[in-house]
A and B are shown apart, each in its own frame.
Chain A
């Protein structure tokens, strides 16, 4: 069974900390995405990557950065966590080669609380 795995289900961090959220996929997908999910706002795209070492800003990149050193791993970094970054973070991937069939495969999410 193919998977997107997010390393933590729940995280509690202090304001100002540097936070790393990790995502690993085993499907050899080229494209990987980070979304945050907030009630009433749906899923908003933070960053995405279409290849190793490549990254593109999404709709809400401020306060975040990403790293894609290996094809299977896409990391989201909160440079200095703030309380308004308390949210559910979802990682997703999709293959370029198979086109858009079935859309993304999502991880289970990381619920981050910044105190």
Chain B
């Protein structure tokens, strides 16, 4: 079936380092992908998106890369800060009704 999954469940980084969170997807028809950040006790919040006609998109300290050949997404966070500690989800739209398929999530832990 369709899936959007993550390679690693937990990522620990030092404050100031760059973080890379990876995600694989199975549905080649997905045309729009989103990264969400979920802090403890809160619902997921939009970070950055990318459409399938793009390879890269940059935001403030975050970059998303899309490799359609191998069906892979990554989220790069520059100069990781303690406030970046959260669970990160990738998600892709699939099929009708605007349904999002979510990956299992990666917990990012930032150490001083």
Which residues of A line the B interface, CB within 8 A?
Answer: 4, 31, 33, 35, 40-43, 45, 48, 50, 56, 58, 90, 92, 94, 96, 100-104, 106-109
Closest residue of chain A to B93, judged by CB? A100
* Size of interface on B: residues with Cβ below 8 Å to A: 22
Contact status of A40 and B46, CB under 8 A, knowing A56-B97, A103-B34, A103-B36: no
* Pair count A-B, CB < 8 A: 55
Stretch in B55-63, B66-74, B78-86, B101-109 touching the partner: B101-109
Q: Contacts A31-B97, A100-B93, A104-B44 given; 6 further ones with Cβ under 8 A?
A: A42-B103, A42-B104, A102-B49, A103-B34, A106-B43, A108-B42
Complex: A58 Cα to B30 Cα, angstroms: 18
Shortest CB-to-CB span from B45 to chain A, Å, is 7
User: Once the chains bind, are A43 and B99 in contact (CB under 8 Å)?
Assistant: no
Shortest CB-to-CB span from A46 to chain B, Å, is 12
Shortest CB-to-CB span from B23 to chain A, Å, is 11
Contact status of A96 and B98, CB under 8 A, knowing A40-B9, A42-B105: yes
User: Once the chains bind, are A106 and B44 in contact (CB under 8 Å)?
Assistant: yes
Complex: A41 Cα to B18 Cα, angstroms: 26
User: Once the chains bind, are B91 and A40 in contact (CB under 8 Å)?
Assistant: no
Closest residue of chain B to A44, judged by CB? B102
